[in-house]
């Protein structure tokens, strides 16, 4: 091989990874595009809360039932899945969290409480990458059939996760959370608009046990009644 050709080839190989990395958008650009795809930050900012209703299919157990989830600013949440044979009830009332799966409710683990206790100033908080202690675009790869940008995140609580954003649409198509029990993978799809705001209506949670499939049929924006977030605990851990 001619010396000039060899030198040119070596240079191309040396700088190829740098060029590929340079072509990646910034975290801010990815979140700006995501915000636009779901309706815009200005439209989400006034949202004080929301309620989702649908169905849950626990595929690995062969059972299904109803799904209801509530959120309210600044940091309240409640999830109830009624499978008939067992009811899953998890929530955070702004101070303490609880978990129940067919038995008496138990206090949520401190690490999970710390993550949920983060105060969200408005309804567009999930569209702001500045809420993370660290955020970095690390690549572009195939995720659940979509070509996606891969963003590694570290929350202020220390919780690490990875999010995936569809290259074509800008929508978030997945999240991988690192937990003490292992990785939990969420796949988001079938985005639909409710009052002009887009949310995923088909969510698949992959874990070591198997898949849980959520199909959301109704999304209502507005702060849920305060009683929804009333803790069933007596205050003892």
The 10s digit of each residue's pLDDT in 136-146 is 999 999 999 99
Q: How far apart are CA 25 and CA 132, in angstroms?
A: 18
Domain-embedded: residue 237 = no
- Is residue 19 very low, low, confident or very high in pLDDT (cuts 50, 70, 90)? very low
pLDDT digits (tens, 9 = 90+) for 184-226: 899 999 999 999 999 999 999 987 788 999 999 999 999 999 9
With a CB cutoff of 8 Å and minimum separation 6, the contacts of 10 are none
Q: Which phi and psi angles does 62 have, rounded to 5°?
A: 70, 30
Domain-embedded: residue 52 = yes
- pLDDT the model gives residue 161: 94
Q: Which of the residue ranges 7-16, 97-106, 129-138 would you say has the lowest mean pLDDT?
A: 7-16
Domain assignment of residue 200, given as a range: 26-229
Domain-embedded: residue 235 = no
Q: How far apart are CA 137 and CA 144, in angstroms?
A: 18
Q: How far apart are CA 25 and CA 39, in angstroms?
A: 21
CB count in 10 Å sphere of residue 35: 19
Q: Which tokens sit at 17? A: 């990874």
pLDDT at 118 over 80: yes
Share of the chain above pLDDT 70, in %: 88
Domain-embedded: residue 15 = no
Q: How far apart are CA 156 and CA 163, in angstroms?
A: 16
Q: Mean per-residue pLDDT for 161-168?
A: 97
Domain-embedded: residue 96 = yes
Question: Closest by alpha carbon to 83, among 51, 60, 49, 105?
Answer: 60
Domain-embedded: residue 218 = yes
Q: Tally the C-alpha atoms within 13 A of residue 184's C-alpha that lie toward its C-beta.
A: 11
Q: How far apart are CA 56 and CA 216, in angstroms?
A: 9
Q: Mean per-residue pLDDT for 115-121?
A: 90
- pLDDT the model gives residue 234: 61
Q: Which of the residue ranges 29-33, 37-41, 176-180 would you say has the lowest mean pLDDT?
A: 176-180
Q: Which tokens sit at 9? A: 């080839």
- Looking up residue 67, the CATH number of its domain turns out to be 2.50.20.10
Q: What distances in angstroms separate CA 120 from CA 69, 91, 229, one per listed residue?
A: 17, 16, 16
Q: Which residue is listed with tokens 């930050």?
A: 41
Domain-embedded: residue 2 = no
- Is residue 9 very low, low, confident or very high in pLDDT (cuts 50, 70, 90)? very low
- Is residue 180 very low, low, confident or very high in pLDDT (cuts 50, 70, 90)? low
Domain-embedded: residue 10 = no
Number of compact structural domains in the chain: 1
- pLDDT the model gives residue 207: 78
Q: How far is CA 181 from the centre of its chain?
A: 18
Mean pLDDT (the chain, rounded) = 89
- pLDDT the model gives residue 228: 95
């Amino acid at each position: 091989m001619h010396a000039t050709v060899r030198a040119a080839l070596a240079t191309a190989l040396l700088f190829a990874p740098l060029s590929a990395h340079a072509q990646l958008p910034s975290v801010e650009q990815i979140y700006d595009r995501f915000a636009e795809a779901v309706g815009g930050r200005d439209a989400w900012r006034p949202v004080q809360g929301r309620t989702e209703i649908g169905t849950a299919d626990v595929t690995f157990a062969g059972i299904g039932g109803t799904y209801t989830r509530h959120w309210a600013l600044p940091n309240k949440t409640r999830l109830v899945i009624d499978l008939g044979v067992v009811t899953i009830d998890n929530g955070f009332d702004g101070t303490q969290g609880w978990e129940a799966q067919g038995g008496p409710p138990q206090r949520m683990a401190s690490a999970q409480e710390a993550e949920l206790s983060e105060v969200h100033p408005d309804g567009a908080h999930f569209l702001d990458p500045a809420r993370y202690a660290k955020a970095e675009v690390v690549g572009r790869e195939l995720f659940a059939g979509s070509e996606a940008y891969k963003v590694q995140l570290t929350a202020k609580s220390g919780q690490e996760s990875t999010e995936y954003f569809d290259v074509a649409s800008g929508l978030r198509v997945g999240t991988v959370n690192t937990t003490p029990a292992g990785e939990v993978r969420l796949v988001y799809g079938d985005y639909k608009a409710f009052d002009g705001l887009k949310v995923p209506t088909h969510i698949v949670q992959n874990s070591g046990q198997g898949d849980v499939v959520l199909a959301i049929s109704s999304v209502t924006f507005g702060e849920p009644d305060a009683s929804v977030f009333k803790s069933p605990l007596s205050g003892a851990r």
